[in-house]
Amino acid sequence: MRNFRLAMVASLTGMMVLTGNVLAADPPKKEETGKDNAYNRTKGNCLACHGMPTQPDAESTGLYGPPLIAMSARYPDKAKLRAQIWDATAFNPNSSMIPFGKHKVLTEQEIDKVTDFVYGL
């Protein structure tokens, strides 16, 4: 299973390299949205720990953290939500949540976009 995944990744990487070479005049890469960053497994990877009940494409979500729903009601102050994403351990030292800003897992700009996306859930 893991080998299969590795092979998939390898072949996908190969394909990307190939297209990169062949299509030198590629249009500039589309800017990543907050949702892109949230879903990306090497960036926010939010779904590893949180369900998103309002997002039909949020699949195989984990349960380390609570489902992300009605966020604007839970966080009337959006800045508080951003601070939670930036470093959850500041509010609860035992939080499992990655300090995305403090440890520079996401850039400040990416955190802004992710905050906007999550706030809308």
Partner 1 sequence: MKKALLGLVAIGLAGGMSGAIAAPEQDRQEFVNYYTKKYPNVKLDDYVYGALAFDADSKAQYDAIMEFPPFEGELEKGRKMLDTPFNNGKKYADCFPNGGKNIAGNYPYFDDKAGKVVTLHDAINACRVANGEEAYKVSDMKTMGLLSTALRAQSDGMLMNIKVEGAGANAAYEAGKKAFFSRKGQLNFACATCHVQNAGVRLRSELISPAVGHAVHWPVFRGGDNLVTLQNRYEGCYKQVRAVPPAQGSADMNNLEYFHSYLSNGLPMKANVFRK
Which residue from 17, 64, 74, 107 is in contact with partner 1, where contact means CB under 8 A? 64
30 touching partner 1, by CB under 8 A: no
- Number of Cβ within 10 Å of residue 89's Cβ equals 13
Structure token pair of residue 120: 């809308």
Q: How far is the CB of 94 from partner 1 (least distance, A)?
A: 6
Number of residues that bind partner 1 (CB under 8 A): 20
Q: How far is the CB of 62 from partner 1 (least distance, A)?
A: 5
CA separation for the pair 29, 17 (Å, rounded): 14
Q: Which is nearer to partner 1, 62 or 120 (CB)?
A: 62
Given phi > 0 = left and psi -120 to 50 = alpha, else beta, which region is 114?
alpha
Contact 64, 51 (CB under 8 A): no
Q: How far is the CB of 69 from partner 1 (least distance, A)?
A: 18
| Part of the chain binding partner 1 (CB under 8 A), chosen from 11-19, 47-55, 71-79, 110-118 | 47-55
Map tokens 């520079």 to a residue: 104
**Interacting residues with partner 1 (CB under 8 A):** 1-4, 47-49, 60-64, 89, 94, 96, 98-99, 103-105
